[in-house]
């Protein structure tokens, strides 16, 4: 398994380089002047040239990319144009909150989705299958930002059970504080878990139904194995694909949480990106997108290794 893991790690390097190039170019293709947020409207040409030189915007794009990539390799993602603070510090504080939110949403979605999908696959063509499939279809169809607003109206405005927005008693800094922090986490985590719940439920339902129809299941039943033992074999055969789907959903949630974090004012990377977009803060945009992309690549690497550990046939393929 170590050899397989090293091979997968070697494949990650060119992917990471390609991702960094795309992140750098996408930001520069977008219209607008990144210095407009900090320069006065009557700034002299000399002041504009000085600021462009300070942020390296007067260099050709290849040189800008080489300088940016070299600094990024050493942990320096630049300084925020809007706030003047180091980008790495701002991203680190926001990334912790986003990772907590994405992991919580993934666990909720995977637990509910796996349960619904497994029941639907075992009791296929029954009312249980129809009900579970309807819930899964509803989960992938409902816009999650709309669901977030509905949950805020129901549980915050009407019932007053949970806070409507924020990241905890620490306010925008998102300081963790036990149960109070969890109370702020519940609504955005539940909202984000709906889509992965539906995807995982439909995936596992299809997997379980397909595995139960295979010949080796009939052979196990003919040998006199109990239903519990047969279902254990079903779970083991479905686990690699289920883990792969869960890993992908975790990456998607971390990178695509900008709407949910904006609705709930959750101080994560999505909320940080939203502010950086409006202020045209290039260093923050580049650094945040790069960190999210690298995390997605890392999650896929971990999922590949876990899959190979569960199913050794993947290493031989």
Q: How much is the pLDDT for 256?
A: 59
pLDDT at 171 > cutoff 60: no
Most confidently predicted of 189-198, 237-246, 276-285: 189-198
At 13-32, the pLDDT tens digits run 787 788 788 777 766 666 66
Q: What average pLDDT does this structure show over 168-190?
A: 67
CA angle 97, 98, 104 (to 5 degrees): 90
Q: How much is the pLDDT for 1?
A: 57
| Alpha carbon distance 131, 205 (integer Å) | 12
Domain boundary assignment for the chain: 87-316
Write b or e for each residue in 237-258: b if 16 or more Cβ atoms lie within 10 A of its Cβ, otherwise e.
bbbbebbbbbbbbbbbbbbebb
Q: What average pLDDT does this structure show over 136-158?
A: 82
**Residue 136: Cβ-neighbour burial (10 angstroms; 0-12, 13-18, 19+):** buried
CATH topology of domain 87-316: MetI-like fold (1.10.3720)
Q: How much is the pLDDT for 169?
A: 52
Q: What average pLDDT does this structure show over 74-100?
A: 78
CA angle 42, 47, 53 (to 5 degrees): 140
Mean pLDDT of the chain: 75
Q: How much is the pLDDT for 174?
A: 45
What CA–CA distances, in Å, run from 299 to 1, 108, 171, 306? 17, 18, 29, 10
Per the CB < 8 A criterion, the answer to whether 185 and 99 are in contact is no
Q: How many helices, marked H, and strands, marked E, lie in the chain?
A: 13, 0
**Residue 17: Cβ-neighbour burial (10 angstroms; 0-12, 13-18, 19+):** exposed
Q: Tell me the whole-structure pTM to 2 decimals.
A: 0.71
Q: Quick one: the chain helix, strand, coil %, rounded to 5? A: 75, 0, 20
pLDDT at 155 > cutoff 80: yes
At 262-316, the pLDDT tens digits run 778 778 787 787 777 777 777 788 788 888 778 777 777 777 777 666 666 555 5
The separation between CA 199 and the C-alpha centre of its own chain, rounded to angstroms, equals: 15
- Sign of the dihedral through C-alpha 116, 145, 298, 301: positive
| Alpha carbon distance 82, 84 (integer Å) | 6
Distance separating the N- and C-terminal Cα atoms of the chain: 13
Q: How much is the pLDDT for 294?
A: 80
Q: How much is the pLDDT for 172?
A: 46
Q: How much is the pLDDT for 82?
A: 67
Q: How much is the pLDDT for 27?
A: 65
Confidence grade of residue 253 (pLDDT, cut at 50, 70, 90): confident
């Amino acid at each position: 398994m170590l050899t397989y893991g090293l091979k997968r790690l070697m494949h990650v390097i060119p992917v990471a380089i390609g991702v960094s190039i795309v992140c750098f170019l996408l930001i520069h293709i977008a219209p607008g002047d990144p210095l407009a947020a900090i320069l006065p409207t009557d700034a002299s040409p000399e002041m504009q040239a000085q600021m462009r030189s300070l942020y390296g915007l007067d260099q050709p794009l290849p040189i800008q990319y080489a300088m940016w990539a070299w600094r990024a390799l050493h942990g320096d993602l630049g300084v925020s144009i809007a706030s003047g603070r180091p980008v790495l510090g701002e991203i680190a504080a926001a990334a912790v909150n986003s990772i907590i939110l994405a992991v919580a949403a993934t666990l909720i979605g995977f637990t509910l989705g796996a349960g619904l999908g497994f029941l639907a696959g075992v009791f296929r063509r029954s009312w249980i299958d129809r009900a579970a499939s309807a819930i899964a279809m509803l989960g992938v169809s409902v816009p999650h930002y709309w669901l977030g607003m509905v949950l805020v109206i129901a549980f915050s405005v009407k019932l007053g059970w949970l806070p409507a927005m924020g990241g905890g008693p620490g306010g925008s800094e998102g300081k963790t504080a036990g149960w109070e922090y969890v109370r702020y986490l519940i609504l955005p985590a539940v909202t984000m878990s709906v889509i992965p719940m539906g995807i995982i439920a439909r995936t596992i339902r299809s997997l379980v139904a397909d595995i139960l129809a295979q010949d080796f299941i009939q052979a196990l039943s003919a040998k006199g194995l109990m239903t519990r033992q047969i279902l254990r074999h079903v779970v083991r055969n479905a686990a690699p694909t289920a883990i792969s789907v869960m890993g992908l959903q975790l990456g998607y949630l971390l990178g695509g949480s900008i709407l949910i974090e904006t609705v709930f004012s959750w101080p994560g990377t999505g909320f940080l990106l939203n502010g950086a977009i409006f202020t045209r803060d290039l260093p923050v945009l580049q650094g945040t997108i790069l960190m999210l992309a690298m995390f997605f690549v890392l999650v896929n690497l971990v999922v590949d290794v876990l899959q190979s550990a569960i199913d050794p046939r993947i290493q031989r393929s």
